[in-house]
Structures are given as C-alpha cells and as structure tokens.
C-alpha cells in the first residue's frame, strides 16, 4: 500500500492532492482491511466443513478454486509491489539524467529523493523478503511437508511472515519526521544528553526551511 501511495504521488504530481482527500483515504483503508479479511478467509476455504473453513495449515488445506485464486491474488500483490518499486528506481534515475545529465552525481541529488528511495527500498525489500518465500512454497510444491525438515521450514517461513506484520508499524514510521522524532525520544529516554540534542535539532528544523536549487 505504501508503494502504491508513493507511486501515485510521483505519477500524478500535484494532482494527487486533488484526488486524494480524507474521505478517499478512509474509504481506501476500509476496502483494504475488508479485502485482507476476505483473502485470509479464502486461503483456508474448505466447502466440506460446517463453517467452510479449514483448521489445517495452508499447505495441508484441500486445493480448490477459491484457494488457488487466493494464492495467485497474493502473488499478484507481490508483483505489483515489485513493479512499483522498479517504477521508483526508473523515475528517480530519469530525474537524475534530466537535471544533471548523468546518474553518477548522487552527491548533488536532492536529499529528499534519496531518502524516499531509501525508505521505499527498505520497506519493499523487507516485505518481499519476509512474504515471498512463504508464498512461493504454498503456491508451488517446493517443500515436502510430510518430513520433519519440511515442517520446520514451513514454521520458520510462517514466523517470518508474521514478523513482517509486527515490524511494519516501525517501518512506516520512517515516512514521517514527527513520528521518527517521537520514537527516538521514546526509545532513548535514558540518554538525557542525546534527548536534549535531539530536541534542539528538531526545534531548529521546525523553525527553518531550506531552498534547494538544482
């Protein structure tokens, strides 16, 4: 979702703020939550049980049209994330060429663009690293789950997938300067000299601005 949001910002430019408002965001997040619930349910769909849901692990669930479509839907989501990330890379590369005539003068690049690419790389990379192995092993018969090693591998991959959900809030904090500041204050409360220095720097940044001329 982060990648899609940033991709729309780069593609639409100023028009993005004409299309995206508070009401639109609320509707979008609601749809995403509902879609996530539906996808989770469909992954364990089993028409032979009373509630049409299987209590078995994903790899042991009977394959049917619903579960297969769900697996490929998740694969499509991963593909969209990859495509959006490559769009970022190509966009910023073309921006370098248009402004500087080369892609090698990174020391002259606007720092906000480099930070954006760094954040997107971190969030996208972690998402793909934690999600892709599990999705591939459930989409294709890459592991023998009847063996002990196969069960251990499945448990590790599933734990990595769950860890992605736990780490995501901290990764998304990287988007906002205020959130980063508050998180540093919270985690480094024991280091008073650092907190004082951090508050001073934060106030200076808040009271000033920079004009960047390419």
Question: Under DSSP, is residue 53 helix (H, G, I), strand (E, B) or coil?
Answer: strand
Given a cut of 60, is residue 210 above it in pLDDT? no
User: How does pLDDT run across 55-105, given as a tens digit for each residue?
Assistant: 766 666 777 788 778 878 877 887 887 787 777 777 766 766 665 555 555
Shared domain for 63 and 141, answered yes or no, is yes
Q: What is the dihedral of CA 31, 37, 39, 41, to 10 degrees?
A: -150
Given a cut of 80, is residue 123 above it in pLDDT? no
Given a cut of 70, is residue 189 above it in pLDDT? yes
The pLDDT, as a whole number, for residue 1 is 63
The pLDDT, as a whole number, for residue 114 is 61
Residue 9 near residue 15 (C-beta atoms within 8 A):
no
Shared domain for 140 and 158, answered yes or no, is yes
Domain encompassing residue 70: 2-175
Q: How far apart are CA 149 and CA 143, in angstroms?
A: 9
DSSP-assigned letters across all residues of 139-173: HS--S-TTSHHHHHHHHHHHHHHHHHHHHHHHHHH
User: Domain holding 87: CATH number?
Assistant: 1.20.1070.10
Shared domain for 114 and 143, answered yes or no, is yes
Residue 212 near residue 199 (C-beta atoms within 8 A):
no
The pLDDT, as a whole number, for residue 152 is 84
pLDDT band for position 186 (cuts 50, 70, 90): confident
Query: What mean pLDDT is predicted for residues 162-176?
Result: 71
Shared domain for 169 and 143, answered yes or no, is yes
Shared domain for 142 and 188, answered yes or no, is no
Q: How far apart are CA 68 and CA 41, in angstroms?
A: 13
Token pair for 127: 């998402």
User: How does pLDDT run across 15-32, given as a tens digit for each residue?
Assistant: 777 777 777 778 877 888
The pLDDT, as a whole number, for residue 207 is 52
Shared domain for 168 and 181, answered yes or no, is no
pLDDT band for position 211 (cuts 50, 70, 90): very low
Shared domain for 157 and 201, answered yes or no, is no
Task: Choose among 203, 78, 57, 197: nearest CA to 133.
Answer: 78
Shared domain for 185 and 128, answered yes or no, is no
Shared domain for 115 and 195, answered yes or no, is no
Shared domain for 159 and 183, answered yes or no, is no
Domain count of the chain? 2
């Amino acid at each position: 979702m982060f990648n899609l949001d940033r991709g729309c910002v780069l593609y639409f430019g100023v028009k993005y703020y004409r299309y995206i408002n508070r009401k639109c965001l609320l509707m979008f997040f609601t749809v995403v939550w509902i879609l996530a619930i539906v996808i989770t349910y469909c992954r364990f769909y089993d028409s032979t049980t009373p509630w049409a849901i299987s209590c078995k692990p994903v790899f042991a669930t009977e394959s049917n049209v619903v579960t297969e479509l769900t697996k490929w839907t998740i694969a499509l989501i991963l593909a969209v994330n990859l495509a959006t990330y490559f769009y970022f890379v190509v966009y910023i590369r073309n921006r370098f060429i248009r402004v500087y005539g080369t892609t090698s003068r990174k020391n002259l690049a606007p720092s906000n663009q480099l930070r954006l690419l760094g954040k997107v790389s971190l969030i996208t990379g972690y998402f793909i690293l934690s999600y892709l192995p599990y999705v591939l092993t459930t989409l294709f018969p890459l592991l023998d789950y009847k063996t002990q090693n196969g069960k251990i591998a499945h448990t590790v991959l599933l734990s990595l997938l769950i860890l992605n959900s736990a780490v995501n809030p901290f990764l998304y904090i990287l988007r906002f300067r205020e959130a980063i500041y508050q998180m540093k204050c919270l985690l480094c409360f024991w280091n008073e000299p650092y907190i004082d220095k951090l508050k001073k720097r934060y106030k200076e940044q808040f009271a000033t601005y920079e004009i960047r001329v390419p």
